[in-house]
Copies of this chain bind each other. A is one copy, B any other.
């Protein structure tokens, strides 16, 4: 049905990623040249962060990088993995600014109610980002409903749910969201989800915001029903943070290296990106990490055809290729840090500068 295909993208590059920025990089790296038809990329540096804005302009672009047409902003910062509160507040502010841009883009009125949805399974650490963000969110819809209409002027009602996952509820997450948005008359949905990236370097160090929703098979948990503007009838803004790499991607990387398909120089640049992940206590304390160890040189080997490679990956991980994930041992600490930042950004975007004094007088 849809003109783009994440599956096709995986079949071609043996890489799974929920990040449009990474998908773009993979294509450019393997196919060159840097400009793909139907895909625009803009990069801005701000303090401790690099912000990339990828626009998939049309079906052509969507096919190229396996991501639906729409806007994708990515905030990257190694500081996301540190425990430095000042930098975190700075990053939360950048995220709030990007989010405000998406909200304006969707022409939402100031008083239009928004439903925030924490996707994922709260019992499984790498999938628990969404529920943890929702737990730290300031919800106001019930407060505003209790106050007289003249006082609600300019105030946005915020509601929030963590619907759980299909295996626990027996209900597609998308169905629960549809039921609740219809019932409460939400004018937009903001989904928070744990994502898969292609590189360990990006785990908990990148935040993606997009307006294309959550598509079947994306995210860490399984969703079969799309959660997007088409299915819900209202705008869907999704905020995602990679917390896992699919095992298939790691295996594919290993094979690429072994098969020596990349010239030495390229690998030198690519490898650090994939390999520098760790919870370094220095970074938790807000310090600079030490130097990177040198990469050893790599032996040259004959190349491998696409179908051969896919077959080998299947052989290592089949028959349940999609189920195995790679994640750092310390993922619980990392998710706590980034969940605080995302919740902080939402609270800023929704409530900053708002005076609730009069509203609260009508609370029982």
Chain A: residues with CB nearer than 8 A to chain B?
121, 123-127, 134-135, 138-143, 157-164, 166-172, 175-176, 178-184, 200, 220-222, 247, 250-251, 253-255, 257-259, 267, 271, 274-282, 285, 287, 290, 292-293, 295-296, 298-299, 301-302, 304, 308, 311-320, 323-333, 356-357, 360-361, 363
Chain B residues with CB under 8 Å of A170's CB are 139-143, 157-160
Q: A159-B170, A170-B159, A182-B179 are contacts. A330–B319 as well, Cβ < 8 Å?
A: no
Q: Are A124 and B329 in contact (CB under 8 A)?
A: yes
Interchain residue pairs with CB less than 8 A apart (10): A134-B168, A139-B168, A159-B171, A160-B168, A162-B164, A176-B180, A179-B180, A296-B314, A298-B315, A299-B312
Q: Which residues of B contact A175 (CB under 8 A)?
A: 180, 183-184
Bound Cα distance from A138 to B138, whole angstroms: 26
Which residues of chain B are near A308, meaning CB under 8 Å? 299
| Chain B residues closer than 8 Å to A331, beta-carbon distance | 124
Q: Are B363 and A319 in contact (CB under 8 A)?
A: no
Q: Which residue of B lies closest to A351 (CB)?
A: B285
Q: Do B360 and A281 have beta carbons less than 8 Å apart?
A: yes
Asked if residues B324 and A312 are in contact (CB atoms below 8 Å), the reply is no
Task: Please name the 6 residue pairs, one residue from A and one from B, whose CB atoms are nearest each other, closest first.
Answer: A179-B179, A179-B183, A141-B170, A139-B170, A278-B320, A159-B170
Contact B316 A250 (CB under 8 A): yes
Contact between A298 and B312, CB atoms less than 8 A apart? yes
Residues from chain B with a CB closer than 8 A to the CB of A356 are: 282, 285, 287
Determine the distance from Cα of A315 to Cα of B304 in the docked complex, in whole angstroms: 19
Give the residue of B168, B171, B281 whose beta carbon is less than 8 angstroms from that of A363: B281
* Most chain B CB within a 10 A radius of its CB, from A126, A143, A254, A316: A254
> How far is B193's CA from A72's CA once the two chains are assembled, in angstroms?
42
Task: Please indicate the chain B residues that have their CB under 8 angstroms from the CB of A134 in the complex.
Answer: 168
Assembled-state Cα–Cα distance A325/B319 (Å): 20
* B360 & A330 in contact (Cβ 8 Å cutoff): no
**Would you call B125 and A142 a contact (CB within 8 A)?**
no
Residues of B within 8 A of A361 (CB): 282, 290
Report Cα–Cα, A313/B170, bound state, in Å. Answer: 41
B159 lies within 8 A of A161 (CB)? no
Given contacts A250-B316, A255-B258, A320-B278, is CB(A220)–CB(B329) below 8 Å?
A: yes
Q: A250-B251, A251-B251, A259-B258 are in contact. Are A325 and B323 (CB under 8 A)?
A: no
Contact B281 A143, beta carbon cutoff 8 Å = yes
Interchain CB contact under 8 A, B254 and A316:
yes
Q: How far is the CA of A361 from the CA of B168 in the complex (A)?
A: 20
In the complex, the chain B residue whose C-beta lies closest to that of A144 is B170
